[in-house]
Amino acid sequence: MRASKSFALLMSVVTIISLLVVACAPAATPTPEPEPVEAPTATPVVIEAEEATAAPVPTVDVASAKEAPMLQEMVRAGELPPLQERLPKDLQTVDVYESIGEYGGTWHTIAGASDIGAIKMKLYDPPWRWNPDYTGYESGLAKSFEMNDACTELTWHFREGIKWSDGEPFIPKVDYGFWWEDLVLDEDVNVSVPWYAYQADGTTPMDVEFPDDYTMVWKNFKPNCIVPYIVA
């Protein structure tokens, strides 16, 4: 009993001392609220697009052009005009990439779709295309083109002297004229124009004119400055 009273007294003394210590301790300094910091304003990055420029067309010495071996016999037999007579007036050449290849052989490839679109992309000849490093356009069937400032008119200037595979001349006024007048504008044929070739109302096709045999003008389509890019 005496030990219990002594222990209780000791605990009372310790409690009193603890309270005195707490009471005499300096008041805690309140932590100041941090001042709001404005987030730095991000400087917008402006990328200025440069207009693609036409790649220079290499010149070629027509007289030194060589006949394909499989055609030499046809030329000697008079079944085919000499190469110099078959070349177009506005001649285009392509720079050699690694080395001049060999005539003939078998081309092995594969298409990932039933419409063989990947193969057709390799075989067809576009009016113009992007050059290998995508710094500008390369001319193709069309030797040049112009777009008006309003982006509503595109003028195509085609090469003279190009022939179809059967030897018939390629004349844009006749061939593209057939596409436009006898196919697109004929409601019974159901050939649509490209999606970007409609006027501002979205339903009326653009206008197409042929000032001469080798010039085609697309007019009055809805303003679209990337039509040359789409064609490429």
Closest CA to 49 of 221, 225, 222: 225
Q: How far is CA 169 from CA 126, 174, 175, in A?
A: 17, 10, 10
Closest CA to 90 of 138, 139, 159: 159
pLDDT digits (tens, 9 = 90+) for 70-86: 889 999 999 988 888 88
| Least confident interval from 5-19, 82-96, 151-165 | 5-19
pLDDT digits (tens, 9 = 90+) for 106-164: 988 888 888 887 787 777 788 988 887 888 888 889 999 999 999 999 999 999 999 88
> Within its chain, how far is the Cα of 194 from the centroid?
16
- In the numeric block, the tokens 């409601």 are attached to 187
- In the numeric block, the tokens 């008041």 are attached to 27
- Which among 63-67, 91-95, 115-119, 144-148 has the top mean pLDDT? 144-148
172 burial via Cβ count (<10 Å: 0-12, 13-18, 19+): buried
Cα separation, 147 vs 54, in Å, equals: 13
